[in-house]
Amino acid sequence: MHTVITCLPLHPSGQALLDARPDVTVRHMPAPSPEALRAAIGEATAVMVALETVDEALLAAAPKLSIVSRFGVGYDLVDIPACTRRGIPVGVTNGGNDLAVAEHTMMLMLAVARRAIEHDANVRAGTWMRREGRPMGELAGRTVLVVGYGRIGTRVARLCAAFGMRVMVHDPAWPLPRIAADGYEPVADIAEALPRIDVLTLHCPASETTRRMINAEMLSLMKPTAWLINAARGALVDEAALIDALKSGRLEAAGLDVLVQEPPDTSNPLLTMNNVVLSPHNAAAPIETFEKMSIRAARNILDRIDGTLDPGFVVNPETLPNRRNV
């Protein structure tokens, strides 16, 4: 019998997969504290995590653990080297949220361009057609730099092109001729490109090499009319530098689905800025996305139990049988 701990409620379609297995017992622990999860994980074969931290302390308490199934594609809260040393694959829901996050990115971009949140508030307050403040703008004709050309970034690039934007792409993992073959301008050096763009949108994971990649120096290279869009990870941006740039007028606006601290402290200046559009890290929250991610997260667990886990859904595929040299 395999014990599976789930740290979040699943869509019925994903839950049904687990419930249909007679060899699986599911223990639901929605949003457990670190102490509660550590106390419960000793007998677990698998754990499905959302925003829970998986570190050395948790793994040391889990001698039977054979997979960490991440509900999402980001894994900055999971100690990948520690899992790899123990031969524990870390599964992710690749393909489950690509469309939703790309659509959300465009929503943030459009909301910034058209000042949608401000105008909604004005109409509700009885103020019609307020004209002061920064001008509204079109997306067509603007130059956007897409940083990160994975499953989400490629969708964002296509959507931006469909809106008539000039698309530039930066991703060291992709050969420049390959990006050019897709019809976009490849960028090898972000700093060189920043003075030429109108919109910067981020779609890469948080890692030691990407944390605070958009810092005061990078922001100072952007046009004062430029916008920053971030639906990836808050850690990619030096938030203090961003606040300073937005306050001083060195950057016109930002659309953010992610912040460094989530939920943010109520004193965070971003919460009071009318040139900032915020959403609560819910780019992947549509019901259709929830179902797809639930199914994949459950499927990763069952496939690991059955010995058929697809390395395409694993962050550290070298932990799988016959994959040591991947």
Catalytic residues: 233, 262, 281
- The full 3-state SS of 38-70, as one line of letters, equals HHHHHHCCEEEECCCCECHHHHHCCCCCCEEEE
Q: How many CB atoms lie within 10 A of CB 324?
A: 9
Distances (CA, A) of 228 to 113, 169, 202, 253: 11, 15, 8, 7
- At 179 the three-state DSSP class reads helix
Cis, peptide link before residue 263, omega less than 30° from 0: yes
308-to-49, 304, 320 alpha-carbon distances in Å: 21, 6, 9
Q: Are strands 227-230 and 199-202 parallel, antiparallel or unpaired?
A: parallel
